[in-house]
Chains A and B, each alone.
Chain A
């Protein structure tokens, strides 16, 4: 079976990490890098490894639409609006790694099957990818009235896009906790820690479950099962302790160690985001031929 062709828009941290991961994929073939700064490290690297490189961003595809079937957008929420329009015009699948959230939000082990037909799929945020599976796992056992997450990442792993748009992180993640995780109400907090050496990404999930629905053993089992599913595509994802129970509160501590592809292993936030997107693209790749027939 021939591989499905893919391209990346954006040559920053996320785009560069995607480059590493996509070149390892058995079902996807990375052909194109679309950036705006030809001198950036990411663009230079793309050239060196023989990708087609456009320095006018997604517009480069307009004359060469055959280069890609699936596009990864690793720019910003603002830039994504334009990029999504071009992708739609060209009939290409779009995986959105910005917090723009135009299309349905996907967390692979929770709802990937529901949205394989969507033209534009949103990957929420790194904090969302790390915590929403846990909210969902709890919610499957006991209805979550309120889900709150705290994502702590090293300052070094937060690029300028994340920093300039920090509200988009908290708002998009909170929405994901509700719409994908199933909590009635969601809240997200992000903390940047500048310690040296950089800290691993850590996430804390707090859930308040419906009065009288607490089932500690079942929740622990459900959380463990979910962690194993996430580990299939992010091996460094793990529980730091057993879930902690207090009345109708559940607390879960997670650590995400990255694969150390583009940034070192502390940047689990980068890794879980890009790994989730690649996972979605690989699922799409196996379903695409059916779509492409019509």
Chain B
């Protein structure tokens, strides 16, 4: 069996939970710990990928290229990965990240829109980077659609194709079914990215591994959007008990989580009512903090906003819909009062 390889996403997915306020020093300290624990890949970028520092998604405190550069300097074992969403970031951004030492790119599209990733994957291949096709909101597509889109990613040169549960909405049987179908249809690596909004991140990840996923995402201390991802140190411990080799030092991961990551987190990671609603309604995990701010501004329940966004099948990246829907709900409330 191919060795299971974990990608740590706290310095990218966690950027949402940190409201994009990472400093160079924080990135250095976390990378140092992850590198010492021998984590194979560390993803560093704005939460919405290269070029994501915007009013729409939140402006970064520190230019992400500086953060990537710092991570590259601290990591002599771990490879630094970046995320790129076509439509937000560009090939120019990718080339910059590659120039300063990023070795892998994950090109992310909504699960039905893989064809916008072609140019970016091909460019990354030509640059000699390792490539991942990252199909977001995979819960929204039936199995055959997911397989069709994954095959496109494979045809563009993706070394790995991920089913990404961006909303943390998938149930274990669904993960099994989808990962198995991908494994049967593709020859490249299959990956899985979880969110813990329904408390299923570790369980779903195990289901994915059982059905052939060999690339797995985790976030240390669950520092990711919504309720975070599969908590890396927990996942490492569980896999060790199952005698699945990850190559990661469990004690070092636990120490990093407790001593370096926990102190910088804005709040303790738990499944709050809003995170739970994300998973329940099938809404992109980074919407949580935006919805909470909008709820305050318009004096409505943030859960109502999230449920409405789910009903309207809003996809990742549509943060501008949050204020729009909140304003509309507030108006409706006034009418009925």
Contact = CB atoms under 8 A, between A and B. Distances in A.
B327 A241 contact: yes
B321 to A, nearest CB: 8
Contacts of B177: none
B112 A194 contact: yes
A249 interface: yes
Interface stretch (A57-65, A162-170, A222-230, A264-272): A162-170
Main secondary structure of the interface of A (DSSP, over half): strand
Interface string A148-188: 10101001000010011111011100000000000000010
Interface stretch (B21-29, B233-241, B311-319): B311-319
A190 B320 contact: no
A68 interface: no
Given A150-B56, A163-B115, A190 B87 contact: yes
A181 to B, nearest CB: 15
Contact of B315 (A150, A160, A194, A204): A194
A192 B116 CA distance: 10
Interface residues of B, number: 29
A240 B315 contact: no
Interface in B99-150: 110, 112-113, 115-116, 118-120
A206 B56 contact: yes
A86 interface: no
A191 interface: yes
Contacts of A253: 320, 324
Given A191-B317, A195-B313, A170 B87 contact: yes
Given A148-B56, A192-B87, A164 B118 contact: yes
A189 interface: yes
A288 B117 CA distance: 43
Interface in B53-79: 54-56
Nearest to A253: B324
A193 interface: yes
Contacts of A148: 54-56
A155 B112 CA distance: 9
Interface string B254-291: 00000000000000000000000000000000000000
A194 B118 CA distance: 18
B54 A167 contact: no
Contact of A164 (B55, B119, B314, B320): B119
A184 to B, nearest CB: 15
A204 B56 contact: yes
B244 interface: no
A26 B132 CA distance: 52
B116 A166 contact: yes
Given A152-B318, A192-B113, A253-B320, 18 more contacts: A150-B56, A152-B321, A155-B113, A163-B116, A164-B116, A166-B86, A167-B90, A167-B120, A170-B88, A187-B54, A189-B54, A189-B88, A191-B317, A194-B313, A195-B315, A204-B56, A208-B55, A240-B324
27 contacts: A148-B54, A152-B318, A152-B320, A155-B113, A163-B116, A164-B115, A166-B87, A166-B116, A166-B119, A167-B91, A167-B120, A171-B90, A189-B88, A189-B317, A190-B87, A191-B87, A192-B110, A192-B113, A193-B315, A194-B112, A195-B313, A202-B320, A206-B54, A206-B55, A240-B324, A249-B55, A253-B324
